[in-house]
Homo-oligomer: A and B are copies of this chain.
Amino acid sequence: MSTKNAPTHPQPLDLKSVRITDSYWSNHVDLIKHTVIPYQWEALNDRVPDAEPSHAIRNFRIAAGLEEGSFAGFVFQDTDLYKWLEAVGYSLAQSPDSDLEKVADEAIDLIGAAQQEDGYLNTYFTIDKLDQRWTNLMDCHEMYTAGHLIEAAVAYFYGTGKTKLLDIARKIADHIDDRFGPEEGKIRGYDGHQEIELALVKLYHATSEVRYLNLAGFLIDERGQKPNFFEEEFERRGRISHWAPGVVQKGPVNLAYHQAHKPVREHEVATGHAVRAVYMYTAMADLALLKGDNALLEACRRLWDNIVQKQMYVTGSIGSTHHGEAFTFDYDLPNDTNYSETCASIGLIFFAQRLLQNEVKGEYADVMERALYNTVTAGIAGDGKHYFYVNPMEVWPAASEGNPGKRHIKPVRQKWYGCACCPPNVSRLLSSLGQYIYSASDEALFVHLYIGSQISHEVAGRSVQLDMESRLPWEGQVRLKVQEADGAGDFTIALRLPGWSAESAVRVNGQPAQYELRDGYAYIRRDWQAGDVVELELDMQPRRIYAHPNLRASSGKVALQRGPLVYCLEETDNGAPLASLSLPADAELQVVTDEWRGGVAVIEADGLRTGTPAEAPNDLYSTVRPQLEQQRLRAVPYTLWGNREPGEMTVWIRES
């Protein structure tokens, strides 16, 4: 990815220059390559038994005239394929695979065959509703879908050097640029689901075509202006929603849901659909950087602070309600009805990564790590074939079944969803993991995540090769070795000292390092030479986490965290009901290695269980204080929950 537009700001490394060799993460990365990508290809072709069909490939075949039939699935169904192709692009960048590339090339041919002469491409509309295109931007995800195509195209171009998909993407981007913009005769509109904005920035990086950057800027800045585009569009089509055809809507447009209630620079708090919000904030941070737009960066910082200080779960997930998959309001973080969509945490990681390009601050990487190690990886089962869309803080399977307000809380990962945004989103994130670990400016290399890997990159004019070994998340030792650094001259290696590590020791070649501590990073500047070794010793004491008292849902409770991992109690280990368990304030937290999955650090402690009064076991309410019984508690990493028998789960534990 080009860094020429912002030479002083650190940029992620080219994916091809990062090889992941981590014992923990290689499993995930291999799972994506060897299992998830092939499995998702089967899903896209509707060949997974007992799973909801995707219809995605079939829709393209129909749109391309290769098959008879009608469109099936959601209006954004094409994105299933685009996100898969994006993941394939990342995967091929790191490990070429001619068979996979051949399959992908055929899919790209199919996409090309479905594209209109004028560049338009969206199988929902092209199959039999072409006259309706661009008439309902609020609901119909046309730019969103194009955005995923663009992201796929850029990834596939970087991964393979091939331009066919990039050309397709440019054609639709040009089509959109012809129709939308501030110029006379163009529509001053924007999409209901933000996504294309960040994609256009990527397309600009890949093509150096500044029109794409300007279009992204227009879409961001036009949003929420008056008169409101969505309101006008809604009236123009007779107050009809795509989601309820034929019904004239009474209520007003929910503009805050679409983050279009006022110009985005004026937003004070994160509102509405969480994925749309963080995708938009990501693009805002991109634009702030590329255009040196401090006012926009200020808005990004304000929204970031609002999320992480008032609207984020301890697992790095966002979206307090399933109604609109949305943010609600400050400190409203219910544990048993949260949405916490996997995709939203992925978007939060995008946002954090872009903010890290604007300014290197530990808090951005801390949240990125929190979301990645906990929610994103919880979203996918160990077998790579089952997924969570919703990542609850608390599960009672009977309530998921029997209480309609909790139906969205699934106690078991599902094979595939009709609306399958999350599975391929996990796939594209994990296959591009190399872009989140490091970044580099002209004279410094930043290490944000401690994921074992080998990199080569030019810093301060010197060609540097570096190996990182990490024992995270189970142990706190990290070791970086400079394998090569040709020439001479100082440059900086800046290591993030994680917020969760109360004391972090940094050594260079065995000696305590001299470093400047700035915003959570240890900056070590020296004339690095091949053979230099940096060692980091992080504090892996298990910790009790307390919520701010305004976060009512977790009052009187603790969460457990060790290193980057948040823990939870599962019924399998502790018995039901989990709500009867409490952790005494003075109980020692003990770390025990379990053989499960080749070694998992679990946390154990002497806890208490509230018993049933023997004299009145059937009384729903009693004046008898229940007896407390001793019980050994066992907490497992949240990311692994739901991989054994279905049962209760809770992140927050009562402290007694």
Which of A45-53, A178-186, A394-402 lies at the binding interface?
Answer: A394-402
Q: Does A550 contact B (CB under 8 A)?
A: yes
**When A396-B552, A556-B654, A577-B552 are in contact, do A621 and B546 touch as well, CB less than 8 Å?**
yes
Query: Are B402 and A332 in touch, CB under 8 angstroms?
Result: yes
- Nearest neighbor of A402 in chain B, beta-carbon distance: B329
Task: Tell me which residues across on chain B come within 8 A of A613, comparing CB atoms.
Answer: 546
Please report the C-alpha to C-alpha distance between residue A544 and residue B622 in the assembled complex, in whole angstroms: 8
A543 CB–B CB distance under 8 Å: yes
Q: Could you jot down 16 A-B contacts, CB within 8 Å?
A: A246-B246, A308-B620, A312-B620, A321-B404, A328-B399, A328-B404, A329-B402, A545-B623, A546-B625, A549-B577, A549-B611, A549-B612, A552-B578, A552-B579, A555-B610, A556-B610
Taking the nearest CB of chain B, how far is it from the CB of A350, in angstroms?
21
A621 and B580 within 8 A (CB)? no
A618 at the interface (CB under 8 A from B): yes
Q: Is the CB of A321 within 8 A of B403?
A: yes
**Are A621 and B559 in contact (CB-based, < 8 A)?**
yes
Q: Which of B553, B585, B612, B654 contacts A548 (CB 8 A)?
A: B612
Chain A interface residue bracket vs B: 35 or more
Q: Is the interface of A mostly helix, strand, loop or mixed?
A: loop
Contacting residues, chain B, for A545 (C-beta < 8 A): 621-623
| Residue A314 CB within 8 A of the other chain | yes
With an 8 A cutoff between CB atoms, is A310 at the interface?
Answer: yes
Name the B residues within 8 Å of A402 (CB-CB). Answer: 328-329, 332
* Of B337, B553, B559, B577, the contact of A550 (CB 8 Å cutoff): B577
- Cβ of A314: which chain B residues have Cβ within 8 Å of it? 621
State A623–B561 Cα separation when bound (angstroms): 9
A334 at the interface (CB under 8 A from B): yes
Chain B's closest residue to A612 (CB) is B549
Shortest distance from the beta carbon of A73 to any chain B beta carbon, whole Å: 17
Task: Say if the beta carbon of A77 comes within 8 Å of chain B.
Answer: no
Per-residue contact bits, chain A 36-74, to B (CB 8 Å; 1 contact, 0 not): 000000000000000000000000000000000000000
Q: Are A404 and B549 in contact (CB-based, < 8 A)?
A: no
Bound-complex Cα distance A329 to B402 (A)? 6
A119 to B578, CA, bound (A): 58
A405 interface residue (CB < 8 Å to B): yes
Q: By the criterion CB–CB under 8 Å, are B620 and A656 in contact?
A: no
The yes or no answer to A187 lying at the interface (CB within 8 A) is no
Q: How far is the CA of A187 from the CA of B4 in the complex (A)?
A: 81
Task: Bits for A605-627, please: 1 = Cβ < 8 Å to B, else 0.
Answer: 00000111100001111111110
Is A432 an interface position by the 8 A CB rule? no
Interface string of A315-345 (1 = CB under 8 A from B): 0000011111000110010101100000000
User: Beyond A545-B623, A549-B579: 16 further Cβ-contacts under 8 Å?
Assistant: A309-B619, A321-B404, A328-B399, A329-B399, A332-B399, A334-B403, A334-B405, A502-B623, A546-B621, A546-B622, A547-B620, A549-B580, A555-B577, A556-B556, A556-B582, A585-B625
Give Cα A396–Cα B320 distance, bound, in whole angstroms: 15
In the assembled complex, A482 has its CB within 8 A of some CB on chain B: no
- Whether B656 contacts A404 by the Cβ 8 Å rule is no
What chain B residues lie within 8 Å of A403 (beta carbons)? 320-321, 328-329, 332, 334
A551 at the interface (CB under 8 A from B): yes
**For the complex, what is the distance from the CA of A316 to the CA of B441, rounded to whole Å?**
66
CA distance A551 to B612 in the complex (A): 11
Q: Which 10 A-B pairs have the closest CB atoms?
A: A323-B404, A552-B579, A329-B402, A555-B579, A549-B580, A328-B403, A556-B654, A543-B623, A549-B610, A545-B621
